[in-house]
A and B are shown apart, each in its own frame.
Chain A
Amino acid sequence: MTSLPPPSDKKLGLVIDLDTCVGCHACVVSCKSWNSSGYGAPLADLDAYGEAPVGSFLNRIHTFEAKQEGRPAQIVHFPKSCLHCEDAPCVTVCPTGASYKRQADGIVLVNEDWCIGCGLCAWACPYGAREMDQAAGVMKKCTLCVDRIYNDNLPEVDREPACVRTCPAGARHFGDLGDPDSAVSHLVAERGGIDLMPEQGTRPVNKYLPPRPKQEIGEAEPVDLVALAEPEAKGFLGWLDRALEKL
């Protein structure tokens, strides 16, 4: 089994805003594009044009519907990728040491040279965030674009994960959640960012910002428009006269 390093000061991760995510899948596909011809083996697509196409993705969007009493039902789009947990069960379960958490920044990676494709880590992950590549026989997971975020060949502005760079709604944020003064830490504090399934004890680094409360529908805000306006004594045309006098 593989041991975790001592907790790092730097905890790189994502903050995902569920109030803003429209579920457009831009992050899903940009991730696929960057990582298929990037880190490690390609993200293969089996039966790509057939009956049951199935490929490896490092990030997927799940859609949930919440029916609420007295309010219209709500749709929540929920992007999910590796949460780079502090107590990552996928690491400790790995029999070869292929699955590891980086000491310097907390990113959880798979060393594909050592991975034997046993799949124990995927079973251990409570989030279902790992996918076995069916062609290469190795486990694939979010690398937090480790080959982008420190890449000297990219302009500094582009040294962020592909999913963050591409998100049209600006619902994805990247940074150091170990630094209480980072922009992402502030965002988490302001918006009440939450851990996914904290009861699992994995201490995920990634945080989710919950949807803001939606407007109550119905009689919640009865407004007498007329009371806001001029007296209606002579009706609309009477009001018009008085209003025009002021122009």
Chain B
Amino acid sequence: MSAEPTVDTSPKVSDEIRRTTCYMCACRCGIDVHIKNGHIRHIEGNRDHPVNRGVLCAKGSAGVMQHLSPARLKAPLKRVGPRGSGAFEEISWGEAMALATEWLAEVRHRDPKRLAFFAGRDQSQSLTSFWAQNYGTPNYAAHGGFCSVNMAAAGIYTMGGAFWEFGQPDWERAKLFMIFGVAEDHDSNPIKMGLGRLKARGAKVIGVNPVRTGYNAIADEWIGITPGTDGLFILALVHELLRAGRVDLDYLIRYTNAPFLVIDDPDTADHGLFARDDDGKPLVRDRVTGAVAAFDAPGVKPALKGEAPGPDGRTVLPAFELMARKYLDGAYAPDMVAERCGVPAATIRRIAAELARTAFEEEIVIEQPWTDWKGERHQRMVGRPVAFHAMRGISAHSNGFQTCRTLHLLQILLGSVEVPGGFRFKPPYPKPFTAHPKPHAGSEPDQPLPGPHLGYPHGPEDLLICEDGSPWRIDKAYSWEAPLAAHGLMHMVISNAHARDPYGIDVLFMYMANMAWNSSMNTGGVIDMLTARDETGAYRIPKIIYADSYSSEMVAFADLVLPDTTYLERHDCISLLDRPICEADAAADSIRWPVVEPERPGHAGVRCFQSVLIDLGGRLGLQGFVDADGRPLYADYADYMVAHERRPGVGPLAGWRGAGEVHGRGAPNPHQLDRYIENGGFWLSEIPEEARFFKPWNKAYQDWAVSMGFFDAAQPFVFNLYLEPLRRFQLAAEGRAEPQPPDHLRQRVREAFDPLPTWYPPFGDEGAEAGGYTLHAITQRPAAMYHSWGSQNAWLRQIHGRNPLYVSGDVWREHGFEEGDWAYLSSPHGRIKVPVALMEALNPKTVWTWNAIGKREGAWALSPRAPESRQGFLLNHLIHELLPPRGDGLRWSNSDPVTGQAAWYDLRVRIEKAPPGEEIAEPHVPAQQSPVGRGPDMVKYGEGWS
């Protein structure tokens, strides 16, 4: 044949690369956006960025389709039809801001708590919380209550930090890595990168998950555990380790409260609390002299066992002896838990042995001297190369808080936290719960709240309850229903506001949370609540303001829609005041900046929500947003990011402060954003070598943290294996401390607030077997889709445009399913019709599907015949925000009794084959009108300009 054609192998790639931060999920990877001829040519990972080091996932790579989505809002919208219809008129920004200001000012002047302001998956919580605090409503939180507050709260209370944003496995040194309930989201690129590195080194990966997809598919060993039993499985591992004496005693004595003396004096108000000296310091007993001393007294050799009289003559014993008694009990023996967990006893014993062998016989050493907080010099850093990671699979249960505690117990018994090869904190963590604020509430007309909304109670005296015992907050966070609700309970806001329990509200203001669809339990019920009217014909939730970038399901239920930008059109800061992007070896933060200008030709256009919020703060005259003369302090979010100081010298961004030469603490630098942009959109400062491990106890780390502005004084602490605040709640429930819970909650508080990590059956199990709900049902997030956002993405919806219900081989055969079949899936709360598919790599008692693929017809600019709204479905319809009525007239929330976290994964179901019929998922919510029209028939990205 003829000569080969000439191929241009060196075409110009782009005119410019603009480096910003991805927002296609919550990972916050750095991205290089290639701009060519004014168009986005390609988006790829930023090789210099600490989070993703150049790689990028499917979502991030599809960013251009999100940016150009036909579902983008184009102008503020005012509702003209009934709520939920989607009938809107476009209005000007002037009219929109005037309306929002009028509504918000009126409520603030009358009773600020009648505003509920909840920000969903936003990454600007240090701003949104600051705004809400200065507005003066107690009703603020973000989405943690329906996400993973159990994980965060259990980690903070136990060891001053948890997984993901608080810490990470030592990917470079771990030899055994064990993951619990981790689907393919949250920290996804770092986990994928880490798994690749572990595999390259030949490390072993054990995946614990009812479903073997993604990371579990490549795990060397897969434990297909029964949902809700992870804590029991872990305590069986603990039982084995204790039985064999395979725990790190030196670590426990030095770095945990295992030796603290617990008062054993039943029927007194301090039974179960620590014995303390006159300075309030917990006591330990010297095992050589037998004398008691403050836990941090020089030279003391603390005992771990032995009952003896304490300083006041009452019996005291080390917390560790209580732990040994509890966990050596035969109830935690592998043979006793195997059937319930769906894990053979031999497997449990073998994994315990592998953990012990790796931790203690393959210890690793870094020749790096360091000095501890007591001044003792250590010549080397000794590590236990066993690392763990966990996520929503263990936390989204009604026993999730304690289950997360059991995992931290296991990590700490092995001595594998903050050591080489184990789990490592990321600055500004570790930070003990005592260094966090306590929660605050109030509702004084035109006044700010006395302090931050969210925090960490030390005991029942810190609860946010009124004198009559009713909750301060609309979501009942920090009430006896959810005492340690560290992230609030966003999923209860609409339900409680509708029920006017504890009170009604006047304005519901939400950002970036699809509460009318996949972000609520009981989706159909929430739609009814959003549209319910009172006896006068007015909506029970009178006014709804919603801010979003896209035509989501929630938009249709708003009275006023404030259109946000896409992530490529906006400023943002991923701040150390919030949830930063730090690594175990470095502090880091980052920005977004408009790499393309927002353009919505022919429409009023969109504005960055945070700029809108700052503008509203100025119009409302909120403290912190206006100067002494009432003039706005900040022009917009970019101005706030640079100029705002939360404490002197500490602002949203830590890099290039002052004249650009100081980091951490320093005066605001008007050129700060330019420096970030020059540096690829992020700032990073490495932790000194000596400070990189043993951070809670490492003097060099503590000093560095103070110098960076994370704390104002060093705060070394020990890990709380025995969590005294829980015991304080128990004492109240036992009637020995004030305030006391209402009688109907006493028993629950006594059981769930065990100061030692424990396990109890998920509440969803109650009556499930007897009712025929023999299966568990869960969702997982796919790697290539994030919440609702992906369905408008022409590329991603071709990967996940529909979601079958996956059933195990046992269930498939039992019901005689065949390919293409549909089934009815029922829970105590409802029934849905769904397509089914066979999956053998699945816990036999579990069914599951991908999360948030199903869509309401008319949303997201999709065709009415889109598979997302015909074959896609939500499990949410089967999950109620309340437990089934118990006949006591009370509303029992379907959540963890400690934190209030939504117990999504407690769901129990039964399945039956559906007769042949129309292949449309049920329930089919009637269509909403689209305020943005529909997407084009064809996408040919690149045509005409590439």
Contacts and interface: CB of A to CB of B under 8 A. Distances in A.
B10 A226 contact: no
Nearest to A163: B61
B943 interface: yes
B324 interface: yes
Contact of B196 (A20, A103, A114): A20
A168 interface: yes
Contacts of B253: 247
A49 B792 contact: yes
23 contacts: A23-B783, A24-B58, A24-B214, A26-B783, A37-B942, A42-B941, A45-B795, A46-B937, A52-B867, A73-B842, A74-B841, A111-B5, A150-B9, A168-B188, A170-B197, A214-B220, A214-B222, A218-B346, A220-B350, A221-B353, A223-B350, A240-B249, A247-B301
Interface string A213-247: 01101111111011011101000110111011001
Given A49-B794, A147-B9, A215-B204, 12 more contacts: A24-B784, A30-B56, A37-B945, A42-B943, A48-B935, A157-B47, A169-B195, A223-B353, A225-B353, A240-B245, A240-B324, A244-B304
Nearest to B934: A49
B477 to A, nearest CB: 35
Interface stretch (B147-155, B509-517, B719-727, B797-805): B797-805
B874 interface: no
Contacts of B840: 65, 67, 73
A244 B346 contact: no
Contacts of A222: 346, 349-350
Nearest to A74: B841
Nearest to A44: B940
Interface string A74-107: 1111000000000000000000010010110000
B875 to A, nearest CB: 21
B216 to A, nearest CB: 8
A24 B783 contact: yes
B459 interface: no
Tell me what chain A mostly uses at the interface: helix, strand, loop, or mixed: loop
B915 interface: no
Interface string B903-946: 00000000000000000000000000000001111111111011
B55 A26 contact: yes
B744 interface: no
B184 interface: yes
B55 A215 contact: no
A80 to B, nearest CB: 14
Which one of B5, B353, B792 has the highest number of Cβ atoms from chain A below 10 Å of its Cβ?
Answer: B5
A170 B9 contact: no
B246 interface: yes
A50 interface: yes
A151 interface: yes
Contacts of A52: 867
Contacts of B193: 168-170
Contacts of B324: 236-237, 240
Nearest to B784: A25
Interface string B394-414: 000000000000000000000
B184 A228 contact: no
Interface residues of A, number: 95
B863 A51 contact: yes
Contacts of B189: 168
Contacts of B863: 47, 49-51
A53 interface: yes
Interface of B: 1-2, 4-5, 7-13, 36, 39, 41-45, 47, 52, 54-62, 64, 70, 184, 188-189, 192-193, 195-197, 199-200, 204, 212-222, 224, 240-246, 249-250, 253, 287, 301, 303-305, 321, 324, 328, 344, 346-347, 349-350, 352-353, 356-357, 783-784, 792, 794-799, 801, 809, 839-842, 861-863, 865-867, 870, 934-943, 945-946
A42 B197 contact: no
Interface in A164-217: 165-171, 211-212, 214-215, 217
A214 B222 CA distance: 9
Contact of A244 (B244, B287, B795, B866): B287
A214 B249 contact: no
Interface in A31-45: 32-34, 36-39, 41-45
Given A33-B64, A67-B809, A72 B841 contact: yes
A135 B943 CA distance: 11
Contacts of B350: 220-223
The 4 closest A-B pairs by CB, nearest first: A37-B942, A49-B935, A168-B192, A225-B244
A95 to B, nearest CB: 11
Interface of A: 2-3, 19-26, 28-30, 32-34, 36-39, 41-55, 57, 65, 67, 72-77, 97, 100, 102-103, 109, 111, 113-114, 135, 146-147, 149-154, 157, 162, 165-171, 211-212, 214-215, 217-223, 225-226, 228-230, 232, 236-237, 239-241, 243-244, 247
A167 B783 CA distance: 13
Contacts of A241: 305
A33 B42 contact: yes
Nearest to B944: A42
A42 B357 CA distance: 55
A48 B794 contact: yes
A167 B243 contact: no
A123 to B, nearest CB: 20
Nearest to A157: B47
A20 B195 contact: yes
Contacts of A21: 218
Nearest to A134: B938
A237 B321 contact: yes
B939 A65 contact: no
A243 B792 CA distance: 61
A196 B353 CA distance: 39
A102 B937 contact: no
B322 to A, nearest CB: 12
A228 B356 CA distance: 10
Given A75-B217, A244-B287, A25 B799 contact: yes
A41 B796 CA distance: 20
Contacts of B792: 49
B733 to A, nearest CB: 30
A188 B649 CA distance: 55
A2 B192 contact: no
Nearest to A167: B55
B56 A26 contact: yes
A73 B196 contact: no
A90 to B, nearest CB: 14
Contacts of A170: 193, 196-197, 200
A33 B61 contact: yes
B524 to A, nearest CB: 24
Given A72-B841, A73-B840, A236-B245, A169 B865 contact: no
Nearest to B204: A215
Given A20-B196, A24-B184, A218-B346, A240 B305 contact: yes
Given A20-B218, A225-B353, A229-B244, A29 B795 contact: yes
Which one of B59, B253, B795 has the highest number of Cβ atoms from chain A below 10 Å of its Cβ?
Answer: B795
Contacts of B794: 45, 48-49, 53, 55
B182 to A, nearest CB: 11
A50 B349 contact: no
B99 to A, nearest CB: 31
A44 B942 CA distance: 9
Contacts of A162: 42, 44
Nearest to B306: A237
Contact of A45 (B246, B321, B328, B939): B939
A170 B2 CA distance: 39
Contacts of A44: 938-940
Contact of B218 (A19, A29, A72): A19
Contacts of B945: 37
B245 A229 contact: yes
A152 to B, nearest CB: 5
A201 to B, nearest CB: 22
